[in-house]
Amino acid sequence: MASPMRSLFSDPERYLQSFRLFLANSTEHQCMQEFMERQLPAVIGSIGNGKSAINILSVGGGAGEIDLLILSKVQARYPGVTINNHVIEPSADQIFKYKEHVAAASNLENIKFIWHEETAYEYESRMSAENKSKRWDFIHMIQMLYYVKDVSATIQYFHSLLEEQAKLLIILVSGTSGWEALWKKYGSSFPLDDLCSYVSSADIKRILDSSGLKCQLHELPSHMDITSCFIEGNKDGEMLLDFLTETCEFSKTAPPELKRQVIEELRKPECSQERDGKVLFNNNLSVVVIEP
Ligand SMILES: C[S@@+](CC[C@H](N)C(=O)[O-])C[C@H]1O[C@@H](n2cnc3c(N)ncnc32)[C@H](O)[C@@H]1O
């Protein structure tokens, strides 16, 4: 008998492996890099005005690739100003990689790094137990809101920590992406646990509107090459299917009918486009910028 489906998060090693494969097969980081180059300078244009030090909080900073890019833009806008960069990141493995990236980078002289190995919620609980409410000039949450229990409460908590001219930047999948189409249709068939939920920019917009918070939205076109998912037995394809469905060993454990339907869905125009013999999954992202 086939083993039951289980969440990809029950196997942190496989999750990280599939996440790295996703990065290698998608324009996820490239489109973020483009945003950081072209549009971030305007977003951070006034966060450090008149300050001798700028405090940045990265929530779910991962291995730090995008964080370092953000820091280089803050440095360029405020040359010579001290930057205190705190990172909330529950994965020891990701923090280890982040430190390696910092060690390999140059021009970080005026930046102090502090890592907090904990979840966003653990950080909030620790701060309230210690009676602390440190304020920040820039807070970002990039591709991590899927992993918090209460998205609305998390946004509201971190928003409450903003200084007067600060910004809160969120990046997550767009409501127009293939993720939205796949998950709205099949999300309830995937073995989600309380470690991961599906949320898109459409949900964030609703949450912000109901909390009376104003935001600016930017759409970032992005795709993931999922051609290998259609080759039976292909190891990379199986790993990407795990990432798409957040299911450990989806190919081996999903009921055959669900597997057939998901494979069929992934080819549909709501999810993907075919170009030059490749199947490109719509991985469009949204950047949401919120003011105090
Ligand atoms: C998809 S990765 C994104 C990493 C990075 N921001 C990027 O865009 O490359 C999500 C990150 O959020 C972290 N994470 C998971 N649950 C979290 C939580 N409850 N609070 C904070 N971070 C969390 C994971 O360990 C992982 O490093």
pLDDT value for 132: 85
For ligand 1, whether the C-beta of 220 sits within 6 Å is no
The rounded Å distance from CA 275 to ligand 1 centre is 31
Could you state, in order of their start, the residue ranges of all structural domains in the chain? 6-290
Residue 149 CA, closest ligand 1 atom number: 19
For ligand 1, whether the C-beta of 88 sits within 6 Å is yes
pLDDT value for 198: 82
Residue 19 CA, closest ligand 1 atom number: 1
Residue 32 CA, closest ligand 1 atom number: 8
For ligand 1, whether the C-beta of 66 sits within 6 Å is yes
For ligand 1, whether the C-beta of 162 sits within 6 Å is no
Q: How many angstroms separate the CA atoms of 85 and 104, rounded? A: 17
Q: How many CB atoms lie within 10 A of CB 78?
A: 19
pLDDT value for 53: 97
For ligand 1, whether the C-beta of 111 sits within 6 Å is no
The rounded Å distance from CA 248 to ligand 1 centre is 18
Write out the chain's pLDDT in tens, 292 residues: 456 899 888 888 999 899 999 999 999 999 999 999 999 999 999 999 999 999 999 999 999 999 999 999 999 999 999 999 999 999 999 999 999 999 999 999 899 999 999 999 999 999 999 998 899 999 999 999 998 999 999 999 999 999 999 999 999 999 999 999 999 999 989 987 666 678 999 999 999 999 999 999 999 999 999 999 999 999 999 999 999 999 999 999 999 999 999 999 999 999 999 999 999 999 999 999 999 9
pLDDT value for 1: 44
pLDDT value for 195: 65
pLDDT value for 196: 66
Exposure string for 221-260, b = 16+ CB within 10 A, e = fewer: ebbbbbbbbeeeeeebbbbbbbbbbbbbbbbebbeeebbe
Domain spanning 6-290: which CATH class is it, in words? Answer: alpha beta
